[in-house]
Amino acid sequence: MRFSRLEVLGWALLCALVVACTHHASSGSSQPLDTGEHQQVVNGVRLYYRVAGEAPRRQAPVLFLHGGPGYNSYSFARLMGARLEKGQRMVYLDQRGCGRSERPWDNTYSLEVLLRDLEALRQELEVERWVLMGHSFGATLALEYAARYPERVVGVVYVSGMSDAAFSFATWKQELERLHPGRIAVTDPAGSSSDYAQVMKALRGLDAQAFFNRLQFHDAVYLQQQEAVDMESGLRNTGELSRTLFATELTQYRFSQPERVSAPVLVIGGRYDSSIGLPSLKALAASLPRATFLEYEKSGHFPYLEEADRFERDVKGFLGSLR
């Protein structure tokens, strides 16, 4: 069967209308900052984000960036989001290759690409300036964005982020030595490898997940809660983003442009967070022009779970000071 040029054009227009109508997954609206779930091709990859909470349009929204690398935004939204959404417009993003977002066919992952994703998303949302709130790797990403695009950032909430990889890996090594005395000497007798490589070698044959859980959770009750939420979400970390970044950038990473961050930064760290190391968080805060550091005395790597009431109070107070 052959079609005329007019019929082909008609079909093309119809397809374009269908795409436009399904452009936003469940919001039923063409406004990118309307509440609901959205999926949008940004910087060459389809990203999932969800908007929740009510706030005046003139008020800068808060973009939440999850950790991992390779985790998802569901956990934070489920555990803390509903508290923060009262009086605040929240945007929960699954980074490329993570959660409900697309895994790029060409395996394109880097800090540079992730930062470009964020800036492209800001433009797509038609937001002039926003607040970035990041946990773990997401905090690292938020700070790098704030240094790259200072004019676009109203404030940063930096929770349990890595700013000095060498310091954090030294903390891993110290904890591994405490839990398994002499194992590093056996697996790397020459001692010529980096702390990161020594730890990863020493973990072969051990329960690596149990070790990293020990680094992050001071109380196993919170680990169980976190795992229950992960089970509820049905999402998993494929390891794609993490493998790429640790193979190319993160093992040598150190935040190097504190003077570029002009926005106020709230740095939150748990006393028992051995995956990051509290001294590195304190040092980061001291290096930033406008930073406040808060130590959570009962927390490990997840202060928003382990001391939820205080986290809500502190973050809401910080966000209120930005208006």
Q: What is the pLDDT of residue 154?
A: 98
> Among residues 140, 139, 78, 144, which one has the least CA distance to residue 116?
144
- Full-model pTM: 0.90
CA–CA dist 63, 131 (Å, integer): 6
Q: What is the pLDDT of residue 191?
A: 81
Counting as low any pLDDT under 70, the low residues of the chain are 1-30
CA–CA dist 14, 182 (Å, integer): 68
In the Cβ-directed half-sphere of 266, how many Cα atoms lie within 13 Å?
A: 24
DSSP at 15? H
Provide the 10 A C-beta neighbour count for residue 35.
17
Position 276: which residue type?
I
> Among residues 91, 98, 101, which one has the least CA distance to residue 36?
91
Phi, psi (degrees; rounded to nearest 5) at 248: -120, -35
Q: What is the pLDDT of residue 30?
A: 52
Q: What is the pLDDT of residue 24?
A: 41
Burial of 84 (0-12, 13-18, 19+ CB in 10 A): buried
106 three-class SS:
coil
* pLDDT tens-place string over residues 4-50: 444 434 444 433 333 343 344 444 445 778 899 999 999 999 999 99
